Structure 1
Amino acid sequence: MNWKSNWHISVTAFLRQAMLALLLACAFSVQAEDLQYDVIFTPKLQKAYFDIQKLRLPSARALINAERNTEKTNAFIPYLDNYADLHYLLISEDKEAYKELSQLENPRLQAIGNLPDNSPYKRFLQAEIRLHWAFAKLKFGNEVSGSWEIIKAYKLLEENRKRFPDFLPTLKSLGLLHVLIGSIPENYGWVAKILGLKGNIQNGINELRIVEKEVPFFKQEAELIDLLLHAYTLQLSPAQQTRLRQWPKQQPDNLLIHFFATTVLMKEGKSDEAAQFLADAPSGDPYISFPFLEYLKGEISLQKGNYKQAGEHYTSFLKQYNGFNYIKDSNLKLFMSHWLNDEDQQANVYIKKVKAAGSAIIEADQLAERIAAEFLSGKISPRQKILYKARYATDGGYLKTASSLMETVTEKSFISTEEKAEFNYRKGRILQKSGQAAAAIPYYNRALTIAQQEAAGFGAASALQLGYIFLEKNDKPNAIAHFKKAMAFKKHEYKNSIDNKARAALTTLGQ
């Protein structure tokens, strides 16, 4: 796939942008005779929308409330209420608030339903609210209900596109869904077809980029979705990597953008850079409380081998945090902070907490629970300390440290199949990230050869990375074969993320 965008804007497109920007800078409403409800982008509500994207929720709610009495029939208000609630719920993981706020979904949908049928905002805003609740419900473990919200949102957006083909905001959310549906693993594709859901990754990206170029009001949201899809499902282009580094500097008061720059750079193995954006992130009363930033500081410290400091950050996170995700993972990391520092007695306190506290909805917590069970049953030995140290160093991009650690052992240093598979995968990953992809191939192949059911995760991960290596070499047959091989591994802790990435890569290859 060619990820390079043509940013040249024609005179016509420029004028269209300027006109829309002018309209938005004032206020505009849906025109209809005897209209009871309308959509008015007042200056205060526009500011509230962008404050929500900065995680300045107290300020945003104050602005919305200031307009509520004079804008009683403005359908933009229930949309913004819902948009703010989504951000609060995703960050706080407040179960009580989730129960209370979820009761407001239908009244808000009904309020927007008062818009006339000839308003392109009617189905668009209803779909947006359904998508908000889809993400919230999935976050809180209500997968069936969340999935139905996505289906309903998709139907609303498709209908809106047919009725109002020139109404470009529809493409923001439809583009997101087209990418996500296009990334569904092949063995689940029949479900999407039965439900009438159609996805195409490239079409979805193109739709998002139309919004980025031609709809100034939704430009930032569309661009953020585009970037995150590439970071977590596809691959970031050089231009996107540059944009990721520029964005927080351009908006120093935007906590959300600092957060995403931090997490994406950490995912890309650039933890030193990520730490700088994390340190520069705005904070204080104007912003929502965000304890997860302490967790991220713990992650970077663990990757660097600063075990005492890592433990302090994880402890601070758990004290401040009232949510349910990352608790098992944090207790595991507290265990690691002591165990890898040869403080086995202190470590044992935390390994026992992994099963007792938190949920196992996300992959990180599921993995923590499995590692804790294996350690307590004696399946994890002190031999593996070196592998964990190398793993964390590699994840953070501290490749010289990781390479030095791995030079002290060989495959023969380990006994179990999983240990041997992990040794080879770690060696391959370090070499690949160090720009030595050809040297990484034998190690990945070795991991694939010895991976059995108990080492399925390392086999699948090795196959995925081999797919990327062959894709870069333009060896499409080998790339396709390895992406399919990655998806063929069953029941391992990385199944969802690896399958999604492999499926997305196969789609770009026409498979």
Structure 2
Amino acid sequence: MLRAVLHPGKERRVFGRSLHDTSLSPVYYTHYSLAVQTVLFQDPVDYDFFLKGEGERMELFVRNATRSTGSSLQLSAMYLQSAMVYLCFGEEIKAGRRILQAFRTFTAIPAAPADPQYLKTKGLFIFLAGNFPRPLISFLPGMSFSPEGHAPYLEEAASMYPECSIFRREIQVLHALCLLADDQPLMAGSLVGSACGAEALPALIRLVSLKKAGKNEEVIRECGYWTIRSDIPWFEYLMGEAWLRKGIEEAGACLDRFLESYRGGHYRKSALLKRAWAALLLGRENEYLHFIGRVKTEGYQVTEADRQAVAEAGYSTGVHRGLLHARLLFDGGYYYEALQVMQHIRPEEITRSGRFALEYTYRMGRILQKLGKDEAALKSFDQTIGMGMEAPWYYPAYAAWQAGQICEKNGYTRRAGEYYRLCLRMKTMEYRSFIRRKARRSLRSLAGQETGNS
């Protein structure tokens, strides 16, 4: 049945054997599978196919929702899956409507702490509400919300299923996505590591986790396996990023293949910016300018990565090749190599631009921090903060947060709090929501420590 509904071939590339589990509700899992497939490929053909049957698939669960907790839980999950699809195609209003429908459906369900699907859904809503604007939280009365509060529910739900169950793997994947959004890549990668096998989706999440953790060599090794065996374009994107961080020429070819095969609008600007960087590192100025021009005209400008790509493509002073090379090496976890590049940058190269000067002191601080030289790192971060309190770029604000992290790690909690509050006062426009979210969370953590010690 599922083979007849899904596009031939693609479902096997995404899910392997899991679609053929006879214990699954065919209608629910068809909806889930189509949603994941549509999000991964972001092909308009898949999107149209998903929309045509969306209402019909949900209707059965809508009719039974008042009589069956199971139907209500599945309907609530289907609403969230549809919201995910709508967001990928720029339909924010439709996505918001589906999210509210999911909230309302879930709040009508009696508490069922022994039901793993109930715990899974509750954990997801706690995570979502912890990251939502406060007015939306009123739709889930009687529950407390924080980004950190979702974990116990998801862990308990997963533990109720056997090790090899598709339901356990689904919960692990959802939990890993929450951890990634919470900037906990090592925990996310560890959670899905055992679930990878022949499944492309957990493998993709693991690779993103490794990338965010700065484990570039592992990304290259594992991504090479998947670029051969999967037609999911994101593996080419991740491989291109990984080669770029290592300064390898193949980065351009991987990103070209991604841009050619990927039909979506999100992350296209980000990919084009990275493609431009690949050209710049090779000294191909005209090619660099070509891709910078495409950043400004192609793709959506919704995700933070795409907004930042537009900002960086518009820098009036351009890009300093040495600082870019050091940044990419740093992101890949090549800290000593990044330090060597920084040491070869002459002072006169960066003093002509306030942005270059801020990037230099910030990047030096980050490298020294990773090399365990906290005192020297703090000095660089303080320089960045002192020069850039009014700057729109992210370097001073993120320097303040990183300085707070160093102080907190070394037991100077009062000073750490001062850095976090300073971070919130800065006027940065780049990565604004991401940085401010981290600062607020750090302040909450400090407050919790003080309460626990009192």
- Do they fold alike, i.e. is TM over 0.5? yes
Tell whether 2:73 aligns with 1:124.
yes
What is the CA-CA distance between 1:507 and the residue it aligns to? 3.8
Query: What is residue 419 of structure 1 aligned with on the other side?
Result: 356
Q: d(CA) in 2 for partners of 1:478 and 1:398?
A: 30
What is the CA-CA distance between 1:128 and the residue it aligns to? 0.4
Q: Is the 8 A contact 1:247 1:257 kept in 2?
A: no
For 1:237-272, what per-residue CA distance to the aligned partner results, in whole angstroms no more than 9, with x for missing partners? 6x766555x426xx4312122211111111111111
Query: What is residue 115 of structure 2 aligned with on the other side?
Result: 167
Aligned residue identity for 1:379: T
Q: d(CA) in 2 for partners of 1:385 and 1:302?
A: 13
Match 1:90 to one of 36, 39, 61? 39
The change in CA–CA distance for 1:499 and 1:85 in structure 2 (over 3 A counts) is farther
What is the CA-CA distance between 1:97 and the residue it aligns to? 3.1
The change in CA–CA distance for 1:78 and 1:490 in structure 2 (over 3 A counts) is farther
Q: Is the 8 A contact 2:326 2:342 kept in 1?
A: yes
Match 2:204 to one of 259, 269, 291? 259
Query: What is residue 221 of structure 1 aligned with on the other side?
Result: 170
What is the CA-CA distance between 1:404 and the residue it aligns to? 0.3
Query: What is residue 212 of structure 1 aligned with on the other side?
Result: 158
Q: d(CA) in 1 for partners of 2:159 and 2:335?
A: 38
The change in CA–CA distance for 1:425 and 1:201 in structure 2 (over 3 A counts) is same
Query: What is residue 83 of structure 2 aligned with on the other side?
Result: 134
The change in CA–CA distance for 1:165 and 1:57 in structure 2 (over 3 A counts) is closer
Match 1:315 to one of 256, 267, 276? 256
Q: d(CA) in 2 for partners of 1:75 and 1:219?
A: 13
Consecutive unaligned residues of structure 1, counting only runs of 5 or more, are: 1-41, 68-73
What is the CA-CA distance between 1:117 and the residue it aligns to? 3.6
Query: What is residue 3 of structure 1 aligned with on the other side?
Result: none
Query: What is residue 324 of structure 1 aligned with on the other side?
Result: 265
Q: Secondary structure at the match of 1:101?
A: helix
What pairs up with 1:493-508 in 2 under 5 angstroms?
Answer: 493-508=430-445
Consecutive unaligned residues of structure 2, counting only runs of 5 or more, are: 449-454
Bigger drift between 292-301 and 481-490 goes to 481-490
Match 1:448 to one of 367, 381, 385? 385
Q: d(CA) in 1 for partners of 2:52 and 2:365?
A: 50
Q: d(CA) in 1 for partners of 2:66 and 2:102?
A: 17
Query: What is residue 13 of structure 1 aligned with on the other side?
Result: none
Aligned residue identity for 1:166: A
For 1:438-467, what per-residue CA distance to the aligned partner results, in whole angstroms no more than 9, with x for missing partners? 321121222122224444411222122223
Identical-residue share of aligned pairs (%): 23
For 1:61-80, what per-residue CA distance to the aligned partner results, in whole angstroms no more than 9, with x for missing partners? 6x49xx8xxxxxx9922211
The change in CA–CA distance for 1:115 and 1:510 in structure 2 (over 3 A counts) is farther
For 1:178-221, what per-residue CA distance to the aligned partner results, in whole angstroms no more than 9, with x for missing partners? 1232245xxx4355347757413443211111112223443222
Q: d(CA) in 2 for partners of 1:54 and 1:487?
A: 46
Q: d(CA) in 1 for partners of 2:110 and 2:11?
A: 26
Q: How many residues get paired?
A: 439
Q: Secondary structure at the match of 1:258?
A: helix
Query: What is residue 328 of structure 2 aligned with on the other side?
Result: 392
Using CA pairs under 8 Å that are at least 6 residues apart, name the structure with larger relative contact order, 1 or 2: 1
For 1:318-377, what per-residue CA distance to the aligned partner results, in whole angstroms no more than 9, with x for missing partners? 222222223222322222222222222332222222222222222222222222222xxx
Query: What is residue 105 of structure 1 aligned with on the other side?
Result: 54
Q: Is the 8 A contact 2:391 2:428 kept in 1?
A: no
Tell whether 2:237 aligns with 1:292.
no
Query: What is residue 398 of structure 2 aligned with on the other side?
Result: 461
Q: Is the 8 A contact 1:391 1:402 kept in 2?
A: yes
The change in CA–CA distance for 1:171 and 1:282 in structure 2 (over 3 A counts) is farther
For 1:355-407, what per-residue CA distance to the aligned partner results, in whole angstroms no more than 9, with x for missing partners? 22222222222222222222xxx4225xx111111111101111111100111
Tell whether 2:372 aligns with 1:431.
no
Q: d(CA) in 1 for partners of 2:411 and 2:183?
A: 17
Tell whether 2:317 aligns with 1:379.
yes
Q: d(CA) in 2 for partners of 1:135 and 1:504?
A: 25
Query: What is residue 71 of structure 1 aligned with on the other side?
Result: none
The change in CA–CA distance for 1:242 and 1:361 in structure 2 (over 3 A counts) is closer
What is the CA-CA distance between 1:425 and the residue it aligns to? 1.1
Match 2:345 to one of 409, 412, 423? 409
What is the CA-CA distance between 1:496 and the residue it aligns to? 2.7
What is the CA-CA distance between 1:132 and the residue it aligns to? 0.3
Q: Is the 8 A contact 1:311 1:337 kept in 2?
A: yes
Aligned residue identity for 1:199: F
Query: What is residue 294 of structure 2 aligned with on the other side?
Result: 353
Q: Is the 8 A contact 1:487 1:502 kept in 2?
A: yes
Two-structure CA RMSD over aligned residues (Å):
3.2
Q: Secondary structure at the match of 1:298?
A: helix
The change in CA–CA distance for 1:353 and 1:241 in structure 2 (over 3 A counts) is closer
Q: d(CA) in 2 for partners of 1:491 and 1:100?
A: 42
The change in CA–CA distance for 1:213 and 1:480 in structure 2 (over 3 A counts) is farther
Tell whether 2:221 aligns with 1:276.
yes
The change in CA–CA distance for 1:161 and 1:501 in structure 2 (over 3 A counts) is farther
Aligned residue identity for 2:327: R
Q: d(CA) in 2 for partners of 1:149 and 1:489?
A: 35
Q: TM-score, normalized by length of structure 2?
A: 0.86
